[in-house]
Amino acid sequence: FRAKELGRNRFSLFTPQLLEAASSRFKLEQSLRRAVDRGEFDLLYQPQVCFESMRTHSVEALLRWHQPDGQVVLPGEFMEVAERSGVIMDIADWVLESAIATAAQWRAGVWPDGCVAINVSAHQLLTGNFVERLQSLLSKYNLPPSYLEIELTETVLQTGARTIAALKQLRELGVSIALDDFGTGYSSLTSLERLPLTRVKIDRSLPATLDQGARAPAIVRSIIGLSYSLGLQVTAEGVERLSQLGLLLSDRGVQVQGFLVSRPLAAAKVPNFVCGSRQLLEDLLMSAPMPE
């Protein structure tokens, strides 16, 4: 298997480390399976705000795994194993239902126009009846499709025509589709051309160096311009400092997500954030250094 993993047509010698890695992957897979049954997953919601309307536009649902020993595990540590073993399907279904139920609750009460974004892997779009399942959950919770955004990375392109057809179906339903982590991969421009998108999310590695020289601002500006000319909305991810925000604010239509505005929040804390967001955004606007 190691030889296959390394690209096939080669040999690989057994080492004790290989066995350890395989056994720890197996253990992780077993605990992930149990985690679904035991309800150890939770969603946090990170706000995406708009400095034009001075409001919280939406929140992105981010998965957390609360292990029985009290440790909280981030998706980066278990998603790959979840995908490879297929456990992702159970987790993903839980994510979908939980986020839709929560959005419907906000809509009926404190946050009538709040949208929720959900991360979806290419695997999810390919297996099962993703579109039908989504539709049935939306009607179960009585949530209009326009309140939901699906976030994908450009890896969906590698999965071919079936996924693109599923995405088109989602667009026809009225669900929004965001291209996540834009600017990190190799086929970003092809993705813009081929996927039925409504939003581009600029990967946090670009805003990270926004305030450190002239190159990143030039790249970010051109991505924003390109997206607008394609009729797409834009979110800048990973905004942590006022100096980064200042450089983004030359275009107030760009939505902002990052620790500067808010860390991912427990669902119960979202209504409070939404109520206070105008004041927070005004304060941030006052403090952000504007470029000449």
List residues binding ligand C2E (CB under 6 A): 46, 61-63, 74-76, 79, 95, 119-121, 151, 180-181, 204, 237-240, 257-259, 264
Residue 121 binds which entry of ligand C2E, Mg ion, none, with Cβ cut-offs from 5 to 8 Å by kind? ligand C2E
Give φ, ψ of 200 to 5 degrees.
Answer: -120, 130
CB of 240 to ligand C2E, least distance (A): 4
The count of residues in the chain is: 292
Size of the site for Mg ion (CB under 5 A): 5
Binds Mg ion (CB under 5 A): choice among 31, 102, 119, 244:
119
Please check whether residue 92 is in contact with residue 134, taking contact to mean a CB–CB distance below 8 angstroms.
no
Stretch that binds Mg ion, among 39-47, 92-100, 140-148, 234-242 (CB under 5 A): 234-242
CB of 238 to Mg ion, least distance (A): 8
Binds Mg ion (CB under 5 A): choice among 43, 82, 151, 233:
151
Where on the phi/psi map is residue 54: left (φ > 0), alpha (ψ -120 to 50), or beta? left
172-201: contacts with Mg ion (CB under 5 A):
180-181
Token pair of 144 as six digits: 């209009």
Question: Where are the extended beta strands (E) located within 5-73?
Answer: 41-50, 55-66, 72-73
Which residue number, 2 or 219, has a Cβ lying nearer to ligand C2E?
A: 219
CB of 181 to Mg ion, least distance (A): 4
Residue 156 binds which entry of Mg ion, ligand C2E, none, with Cβ cut-offs from 5 to 8 Å by kind? none
Residue 258 binds which entry of ligand C2E, Mg ion, none, with Cβ cut-offs from 5 to 8 Å by kind? ligand C2E
CB of 58 to Mg ion, least distance (A): 11
Residue 56 binds which entry of Mg ion, ligand C2E, none, with Cβ cut-offs from 5 to 8 Å by kind? none
- 200 bridge partner residues: 179, 234
Residue 173 binds which entry of ligand C2E, Mg ion, none, with Cβ cut-offs from 5 to 8 Å by kind? none
Which residue number, 61 or 249, has a Cβ lying nearer to Mg ion?
A: 61
Query: What letter represents residue 81's amino acid?
Result: V
Residue 264 binds which entry of ligand C2E, Mg ion, none, with Cβ cut-offs from 5 to 8 Å by kind? ligand C2E
To the nearest 10°, report the CA torsion of 96, 101, 103, 107. Answer: 150
* Alpha-carbon distances of 96 from 63, 119, 133, 284, rounded to whole Å: 11, 9, 9, 33
Give φ, ψ of 256 to 5 degrees.
Answer: -125, 135
d(CA 53, CA 271) in angstroms, rounded, equals: 18
Residue 154 binds which entry of ligand C2E, Mg ion, none, with Cβ cut-offs from 5 to 8 Å by kind? none
d(CA 21, CA 94) in angstroms, rounded, equals: 28
Which residue number, 154 or 237, has a Cβ lying nearer to Mg ion?
A: 237
CB of 182 to Mg ion, least distance (A): 8
d(CA 32, CA 269) in angstroms, rounded, equals: 27
Q: Is 154 in the site for Mg ion (CB under 5 A)?
A: no
* Alpha-carbon distances of 39 from 65, 192, 202, rounded to whole Å: 9, 37, 32
Among 227, 179, 235, smallest CA distance to 207 is for 235
- Where does this chain bind Mg ion (CB under 5 A)? 119, 151, 180-181, 237
